Structure 1
Amino acid sequence: MGSVIDSSTSLLARHTHDIVRFAMGAPSDDLMPVELLDRFAANPVPGKYTYGSTEGEPDFVDQILKLQAEHGHASAPDRVTVTTGGMQGLDLACKLFVDPGDLVIVEGPTYTNGNATALSYGAQLLEAPLDENGLVVEVLPELVARGGRTPKAIYTIPNFQNPSGVTLSLARREQLLELAAQWGAMIIDDDPYGLLRFENSPIPSLNEIDPGNPRIFSVRTLSKILAPGLRVGWVDADPSLHPLLINAKQAMDTCTSVPAQRTVTDFLAGGHLQPHLDRVLSLYCERKNAMRVALDRHFGDAVRATDPDGGFFLWVAFADAQVDTAALFEPALAEGVAYIPGPAFSTNGNFHDALRLCFATSTPERIDEGVARLKAAVDKSGAQR
């Protein structure tokens, strides 16, 4: 199963007309600290272009530990393995915990590449519903009982979930930890967006709620925070898994790019992360609000959109359940706007009447233009089931 999201990059590259790009989940160039990253990338560091340690460059691991500690998650070097982006973290999780036929609970909708990774290891996915407070943990026991077997893993995106933008409540985080212990299941805690909160107060992470819990496998990345092209992330997991993670990663790519790790190390060590966040978070909030205003202006009651406290995405559902966002995709592209159709986020082909819009990539003016183009595509296409 390939990635609809990643394939959209190649598809867009083949079009030469103006397109407002709400599809890819990435910051726009003006919200990446390009000048600083370029400066640090040019630093002459001995050994910069040779092989590095599979577990990660020691100075970078130190910066990861400091960053996590600043945000309430105390850790240790033998818990951290540097990865080539968050996707490699998900791949390592599935490689370690998922055998063919194993049951994995996933959110519905959820990140299409997360589903694809679990499926590539032979998992059977159980799609569980979301609401405004994240994964509806209360229904999991009934879903599991109905299926007749317990899950091997539970995949969750707790903060500003992709694609919905919703955040898992504290009570549900606590209940999820209890269920994982009861079932002997691993929690694959995928949190690319946690530092991108621009409204309201943070909710304690799973690691803060239950420090040292060996059933929490945390996947982190700097792709959304700094720049996706760096391909630098990490996993934080029980020390007993560290040798297995190193062996598994050595079979993938030996080590994460040493130049990229060095660049990010210098960026973090220089104290540049917080000023960067201070600058971009207000702009992300502005863009989120602009997208909600534009949806209301152009669609009114014809759509319902989530209202996230952070991250990159709005999940938009049409009031008319006959609208088919997969069928609408090509007409919308011709009209000059790109998005990801709802069924991409479900292995069961659900959410045909919904779509994901990324507000991080566009200015408020461009957002309004893109939403206007989307409305024009809907009006012209009659894209229905």
Structure 2
Amino acid sequence: MSSAMSSAMSRPMLPFAARAEGLVGSVIDSSTSLLHRQQHDIVRFAMGSPAVEAVPSAVLRQIGVTALGPGAADAYDYAATEGDPPLREALLAALRGTSDETTADRLTITSGGMQGLDLFCKIFIDPGDLVVVESPTYTNGSATALSYGAHLLEVPVDREGMQVDAMAQLVEEAGRTPKAIYTIPTFQNPSGATLSLARRHRLLELARSWGSMVIDDDPYGLLRFAGDPLPTLRELGAGDPLVFAVRTFSKIVAPGLRVGWVDSAPELQQLLINARQAMDTCTNLPAQRLLTGFLTGGHLDDHLVAQRAEYRRRKEAMHRALREHFGDIARWTDPEGGFFLWVTLENGVNTTELFEVALAEGVAFIPGAAFSPSGRFTDALRLCFASTGPERTLEGIARLRRAVDIVAGGSR
């Protein structure tokens, strides 16, 4: 027996908590590390992040001269757990008159939208609780619920978002009501679908009848470039304590700042503070100061106008490329905002198997099975159109078609 085997056999079993089995990680986030290890040119449709050129880095750098310069030594201190007061005031002002207008006693600053989801689950989810999720869904969100021991119920999505009547039927079949309903109602990740107004009302009606919390995760709502805006679930809920709204600056300003916020019933704010103080104490203060300057300097509105126009241009470019290269073997969604297209192949190719071949061909995407806790959608994939310009997108879609033909056993 080798010394290595002997050592391994003699090592004690680690006393993992039961919840450790629910820490499933993220295929989406893992793709970032994978792409960094590649040495060849890759068109990156995988991560749901703004293009490098879409981040207002020059403006933020200029703000930083004042907000983080020699005269701002306090910018490197601890911050108030609920958020730095200047950012809270600036954000409340920025939201005034929008569908997410709120009050100070409902607002808590977080370290990105993901922390908002984690805080919700930490406060509300017990092991064994039923949580409804969309199918497909943003599996970082569903993974957070799993990490707290939730049982997930997948509800199908169509072009009008979550099929709410199907949810009612599935809940009846499950024989118990959900503790929470997790939805991305506007420009859903990964499908790009938007929950219709009728379904928004019906979802809230069902949640109230069941006493279920609604996690209203809306990172993309401010990025509408077509169609008519819909009221958020936060607005339709009119302060209903069952609605827990999660928002982030990651998609509209810069993901690396890791700043978001939650809007919740006032009676939850102290619980959120208590949970944060047992987690990370406070959100990164320098990042909060940068965002305060961005908001108070009047930069957000102009930035959003520019990004909406550019993302529309990029979505249309991806549609053109898909029509040219995939018109005979696939169908795809047509979102009115956000970052994503959901592409379904109709030639039997498994997109999980396709991933490595596509990467070798120089294009990255996220396979459909990554967006289902039970591994559905092996014929689908998510493409982010926001992060690449039109010419680069055309090249990436051409590479993707070559990879599909290789897997299918053909050539083009």
TM-score, normalisation: structure 1: 0.98
Tell me the amino acid that sits aligned with residue 331 of structure 2.
Answer: R
1:143 aligns with 2:166: no
Cα separation, 1, equivalents of 2:363 and 2:239: 45
Aligned to 1:227: 254
Q: Which whole-Å deviations, capped at 9, do the CAs of 1:328-384 have from their partners, x for residues lacking one? A: 000000000000000000011100000000001100000000000000001112289
1:88 aligns with 2:115: yes
Cα separation, 2, equivalents of 1:250 and 1:324: 45
Cα separation, 2, equivalents of 1:298 and 1:62: 49
Aligned to 2:273: 246
Contact kept? 2:130, 2:151, Cα under 8 Å: yes
Tell me the amino acid that sits aligned with residue 48 of structure 1.
Answer: A
Cα separation, 1, equivalents of 2:124 and 2:31: 30
Cα separation, 1, equivalents of 2:237 and 2:375: 35
Cα separation, 2, equivalents of 1:99 and 1:278: 42
Aligned to 1:100: 127
Aligned to 2:55: 32
Tell me the amino acid that sits aligned with residue 122 of structure 2.
Answer: K
1:68 positional shift = 2.2
1:58 aligns with 2:78: no
Contact kept? 2:44, 2:365, Cα under 8 Å: yes
SS across alignment from 1:47: helix
Tell me the amino acid that sits aligned with residue 277 of structure 2.
Answer: Q
Tell me the amino acid that sits aligned with residue 276 of structure 1.
Answer: H
Q: Which whole-Å deviations, capped at 9, do the CAs of 1:186-234 have from their partners, x for residues lacking one? A: 0000000000000011001112223111100000000000010000000
Cα separation, 1, equivalents of 2:94 and 2:186: 17
Contact kept? 2:164, 2:203, Cα under 8 Å: yes
Aligned to 1:353: 379
Aligned to 2:28: 5
Tell me the amino acid that sits aligned with residue 329 of structure 1.
Answer: F
Aligned to 1:165: 192
Q: Which whole-Å deviations, capped at 9, do the CAs of 1:256-312 have from their partners, x for residues lacking one? A: 001000000000001000111111111100000110110010011311100000000
Q: Which whole-Å deviations, capped at 9, do the CAs of 1:12-67 have from their partners, x for residues lacking one? A: 01101000000000111111111001111222324100000000011111122122
Which structure 2 segments of 5+ residues have no match?
1-23
Which of the numbers 351, 356, 362 marks the counterpart of 1:336? 362
Instruction: Identify if the C-alpha distance between structure 1 residues 331 and 263 changes in structure 2 by more than 3 Å, giving closer, same or farther.
Output: same
SS across alignment from 2:221: coil
1:14 aligns with 2:41: no
Aligned to 1:313: 340
Aligned to 1:70: 97
Contact kept? 1:323, 1:383, Cα under 8 Å: no
Q: Detail structure 1 runs of 4+ shifted over 6 Å in the superposition.
A: none
Which structure 1 segments of 5+ residues have no match?
none
Cα separation, 2, equivalents of 1:91 and 1:73: 21
Tell me the amino acid that sits aligned with residue 93 of structure 2.
Answer: K
Aligned to 1:274: 301
Aligned to 2:404: 378
- More moved, 69-78 vs 238-247: 69-78
The percent identity for this pair of structures is: 60
TM-score, normalisation: structure 2: 0.92
Cα separation, 2, equivalents of 1:264 and 1:174: 33
1:74 positional shift = 3.0
SS across alignment from 1:192: coil
Cα separation, 1, equivalents of 2:281 and 2:264: 19
Cα separation, 1, equivalents of 2:232 and 2:149: 29
Contact kept? 2:157, 2:163, Cα under 8 Å: yes
Which of the numbers 155, 164, 172 marks the counterpart of 2:182? 155
Which of the numbers 158, 161, 164 marks the counterpart of 1:131? 158
Aligned to 1:323: 349
How many residue pairs align between the two structures?
383
SS across alignment from 1:107: strand
User: Radius of gyration: which is bigger?
Assistant: 2
Provide the alpha-carbon RMSD of the alignment: 1.1
